[in-house]
Structure 1
């Protein structure tokens, strides 16, 4: 626990407790934790829903929120919700994504038959009755703690059940600071009677905060090996939900045309190992559709800094990961986001911060892609 809860003096006399979904492997969440820690939060506590050690992937050891409260409940503290799409992640979704991938089919078979069954299992799994568990109200924390929301998202807020929306609004209303990262979330909260600040995702500061570490990682391991094998590469990522044959064929057509136009190879990587994120099987099937026309490599590392180095050194990025786009764009790499439609979180983010014409394309039978190209 001493590695997870750091014991240095709190910043400016207050303990800093970073809370978020960095208790599971997702590139964006791990990166946001690193950016928050690098941004002056010396001596911070990394808290999540469960105890995890993701240091091998460039993350941190997290402690359950209850443990942080028990240890630091008498301290003055700033409790910071560290970004991501936390305003709409339900307890059911959070609990499934915290499981081992091989256990998920059994969990779905046993519990995914009714809202009540899902809610009861999630509450038992997480040890909390919060319906949106990565959102915590000030009233549910020690009296001397202040709550903050930094660059959070919630593009599906209006689609939440009424009880879920009420829980989120209660937490947001008591926050000392509240900043959301996209206009869709901003407008949804305003309609609900809350004023929030609108600010870009904190990961846009990745080059400034983590640039030296990223350049160091680029000189070793897989990225260094790629530099010896390919003159240039497109960094490509695809969520597992895009893994049906029709969609993969459409994406392969898009990538082949882009790679041939640029004279680049293609490097396929995973932006998340947690359930309902990415998997090698999907990328392998995509590679099979590409290999006959362009050089293709599967990037094995899931270390957050290796992924950043891969993106920073790419000729372009194409993928479904919002933070893949944000990091590539931050390093001046042309980036294209693949989304199902204009209500996806990546589309909402780009609509907020980038003036890019919409280019609808259809692949396969009826699978809409929503590619946007923004040069850094």
Structure 2
């Protein structure tokens, strides 16, 4: 190409200090750069995560405004972001009403932004955590039609997104399985050596990478679990490494509490300096046992044997294991996980992500690039979605909402105040789901 084809905006939870989420734009940037596209992440708050190698982001407002940031296309995901739930429980998004709508803003808002800009839209295999209501499906259908390419990362997400099987939706492996393409294992060796030196761990130490999330240990005897993890590591000749990959999920606090329960020499990675350092730690471990899907995906991609603790048993866990032909790596509790892990052989250097999955990801990125190379395709469907969204908003909010841009500031303020009063009235009826 003699001229760069432009910038692609990619939307997701890219301003949170969560390892897996922050890998998506890095992997996407590397793939799209191969064909000349630049990439700019979009996140709800538009802030930058606290890792030296996390990409800066712009907010959803900027995604909506072509005058502030030109773009050649919009890419949705990945991550567990296809939902309409409030994110107000996250301190990062609480206040100013951001948490109530930014979850939908990352994908439904991205679809609207593509329609407003009249540029192509594609999905980077995000996940769908929960069902949608019949009312929501009425708008979801034109949203799917507006995209030039739609993909999800597992069959469970497909069933939730399109229960009637009417849409053309691809199911592909989670794109993080591509990570060795960005950071080959040999290039991470020095990062790993620096980590061991920083933590005062001898270079010959073999590590058991452990990830514990509060949901995965809820309701169980944590003292007994700590003892079981200590005994297992000792029996395998491994040193436990507690990897806290999700700050917003309280992973560092959970890891520190479990370290006290284990009560043995270990490596505590609750202060990672970079995403690359976490990757190096996982890629050079001897074994992985944990509740993080992306912890498992990364270790599998680098040839480290592992067991995924599916507690609770989300679709995303079984989905990836089915795509890689590794259903035997799924455990429903920690006791089962340790029994299964005891049977795993040491790493041989061969990735546990088969060639078929890699080929599927190559085809996935080819379809994304093709979508962005055809800006006129699905233009009518994008506009049909925008009209459906407009009609739905007027029906839900009333005609005053649609007139707001034409009113002066005082009139808009009075209308908002009247709306807030009506919403707070005890006679107001809640909206049906």
The TM-score by the shorter chain falls in which range? 0.7 to 0.9
Where 1:44 maps in the other structure, the secondary structure is: strand
C-alpha change, 1:179 and 1:230, in structure 2 (3 Å) is same
C-alpha change, 1:190 and 1:53, in structure 2 (3 Å) is closer
Identify unmatched segments of 5+ residues in structure 1.
1-8, 101-106, 108-120
Aligned to 1:289: 261
Match of 1:233 among 207, 228, 248: 207
Distance (Å, rounded) in 2 between the aligned partners of 1:10 and 1:252 = 58
TM-score (norm 2): 0.68
The Cα of 1:71 is off from its aligned counterpart by 4.5
Aligned to 2:11: 19
Q: CA RMSD in A?
A: 3.3
C-alpha change, 1:268 and 1:355, in structure 2 (3 Å) is closer
Aligned to 1:132: 104
Aligned to 1:151: 125
Distance (Å, rounded) in 2 between the aligned partners of 1:180 and 1:223 = 40
The Cα of 1:96 is off from its aligned counterpart by 3.0
Where 1:171 maps in the other structure, the secondary structure is: helix
Distance (Å, rounded) in 2 between the aligned partners of 1:168 and 1:213 = 43
Match of 2:282 among 311, 332, 336: 311
Aligned to 2:366: none
Range that drifts further, 326-335 or 36-45: 36-45
Where 2:42 maps in the other structure, the secondary structure is: strand
The structure with more helix, counted as a fraction of residues: 2
Whether the aligned pair in 1 keeps the contact of 2:310 and 2:331 (CA below 8 Å) is: no
Distance (Å, rounded) in 1 between the aligned partners of 2:196 and 2:190 = 12
The Cα of 1:74 is off from its aligned counterpart by 8.4
* Structure with larger Rg: 2
C-alpha change, 1:221 and 1:263, in structure 2 (3 Å) is closer
Matched, 1:92 2:59: no
The Cα of 1:343 is off from its aligned counterpart by 3.3
Matched, 1:183 2:155: yes
The Cα of 1:305 is off from its aligned counterpart by 0.9
C-alpha change, 1:190 and 1:76, in structure 2 (3 Å) is same
Range that drifts further, 186-195 or 197-206: 186-195
Alignment of 1:106-255 (within 5 A): 124-126=97-99, 129=101, 132-136=104-108, 138-141=111-114, 142-154=116-128, 156-158=129-131, 160-192=132-164, 193-211=166-184, 214-222=188-196, 225=199, 228=202, 231-244=205-218, 246-249=220-223, 251-252=225-226, 254-255=228-229
Whether the aligned pair in 1 keeps the contact of 2:208 and 2:286 (CA below 8 Å) is: yes
Distance (Å, rounded) in 2 between the aligned partners of 1:331 and 1:20 = 25
